[in-house]
């Protein structure tokens, strides 16, 4: 999604600048729940050495280690965490993680003091990767967990607005005939045409410039965190 991609690109560039100012000889990044590694080129072009973990490797993808972020970290990952990672990317992962306290404790352990942790997760989005789709976090939940595990909030955004949320729901809803019969098929046809019209309306730059959304709905959570320099992160 363009909103997520743009926010992540800016955050990675900012993390690279921060690491550069810290004069670290080697900048390391960890992509948590990397999937097909869509951000590997971006991370490497920013000057980071790329590492990745996931619960399973997709075809053609090589992982640093196979593990879940809410389970005990394997030795291969622990050997890399003596100094911590300067950048940890955890995008569209936490909704699939059942044990949030364990996951946040591991993220704190993986991040170097002064490093950057980038988290994204959906708010309005259909069920996916079932049955491993557990949560839709609010911005308040993310901030509370960040504070609980001794992170500093650098930036937090609710990406998208009510129109984007409406477009997401519209795209995920396909009208089908409820029963056999001409009237039901005709109604389904009209509903599908209306769905396409609504999509074009919500995608129109002119409409978006002319209208504002009076809604608390949004599409995705985006938060950038830093780890405090003092000890912590093992909150009860």
Cis ω on the peptide bond leading into residue 131 (within 30° of 0)? yes
233 within domain boundaries: no
What lies within 8 Å, CB to CB, of 72 at 6+ separation is none
* pLDDT score, position 236: 35
- The answer on pLDDT for 81 being more than 80 is no
As a whole number of angstroms, the distance between CA 175 and CA 187 comes to 9
Same domain, 169 and 55: no
Residue 29 and residue 134 in one domain? yes
44's enclosing H/E stretch is helix 40-45
With respect to residue 149, please indicate whether it lies within any of the assigned structural domains. yes
Q: Report the domain count for the chain.
A: 2
- The answer to which of 41-45, 54-58, 210-214 has the lowest mean pLDDT is 210-214
CA–CA separation, 228 and 96 (whole Å): 26
State whether residue 34 is helix, strand or coil.
Answer: coil
Three-class secondary structure of residue 185 per DSSP:
helix
Same-domain status, 152 and 184: no
Band (18; pLDDT cuts 50, 70, 90): confident
Whether 19 is in a domain gets the answer: yes
- Tell whether the model's pLDDT for residue 67 goes beyond 90: yes
Residues with Cβ within 8 Å of residue 230, at least 6 apart in sequence:
150
Structure-block tokens of residue 2:
């363009």
CA dihedral 39, 137, 201, 174 (to 10 degrees): 90
- What CATH number does the domain containing 113 carry? 3.40.50.150
Q: Is position 16 within any domain? A: yes
Q: Has residue 62 been placed in a domain?
A: yes
**Which tokens is 200 given?**
């074009």
Q: State whether 26 and 118 are in the same domain.
A: yes
Region 168-197 average pLDDT: 92
Instruction: Say whether both 84 and 188 belong to one domain.
Output: no
Torsion of CA 82, 88, 93, 96, to 10 degrees: 20
% pLDDT > 90, the chain: 75
Residues 77 and 192 in one domain: no
Residue 126 shares a structural domain with residue 46: yes
Structural domain including 167 reads 163-210
Q: What pLDDT, on a 0 to 100 scale, did the predictor assign at position 234?
A: 41
- Using one digit for the tens of pLDDT, what is the confidence trace for 188-234? 999 999 999 998 988 898 888 898 888 999 999 999 999 876 544 44
Print burial letters for 194-208: b (CB count within 10 Å at least 16), e (below 16): eeeeeeeebeeeeee
Residue 200 located in a structural domain: yes
CB 4 within 8 A of CB 62: no
- Domain assignment present for residue 232? The answer is no
Q: Are residues 132 and 71 in the same domain?
A: yes
**pLDDT (0 to 100) of residue 203:** 87
Tokens encoding 166: 């409406």
Per-residue pLDDT at 144 exceeds 50: yes
């Amino acid at each position: 999604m363009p909103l997520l991609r743009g926010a992540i690109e800016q955050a990675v560039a900012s993390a690279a600048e921060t690491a550069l100012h810290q004069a670290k000889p080697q900048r390391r990044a960890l992509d948590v729940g990397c999937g097909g590694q869509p951000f590997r080129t971006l991370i490497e072009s920013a000057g980071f050495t790329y590492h990745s973990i996931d619960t399973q490797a997709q075809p053609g993808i090589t992982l640093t280690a196979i593990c879940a972020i809410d389970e005990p970290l394997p030795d291969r990952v622990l050997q890399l965490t003596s100094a911590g990672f300067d950048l940890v990317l955890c995008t569209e992962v936490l909704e699939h993680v059942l044990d949030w306290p364990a996951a946040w404790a591991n993220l704190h352990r993986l991040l170097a003091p002064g490093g950057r942790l980038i988290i994204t997760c959906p708010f309005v989005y259909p069920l996916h990767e079932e049955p491993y789709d557990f949560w839709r976090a609010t911005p308040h939940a993310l901030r509370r967990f960040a504070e609980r595990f001794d992170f500093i909030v650098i930036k937090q955004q609710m990406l998208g607005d009510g129109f984007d949320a409406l477009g997401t729901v519209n795209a995920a809803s396909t009208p089908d005939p409820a029963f056999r019969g001409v009237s039901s098929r005709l109604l389904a046809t009209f509903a599908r045409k209306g769905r396409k019209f609504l999509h074009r309306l919500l995608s129109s730059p002119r409409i978006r410039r002319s209208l504002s959304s009076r809604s608390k709905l949004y599409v995705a959570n985006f938060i950038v965190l830093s780890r405090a320099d003092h000890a912590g992160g093992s909150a009860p």
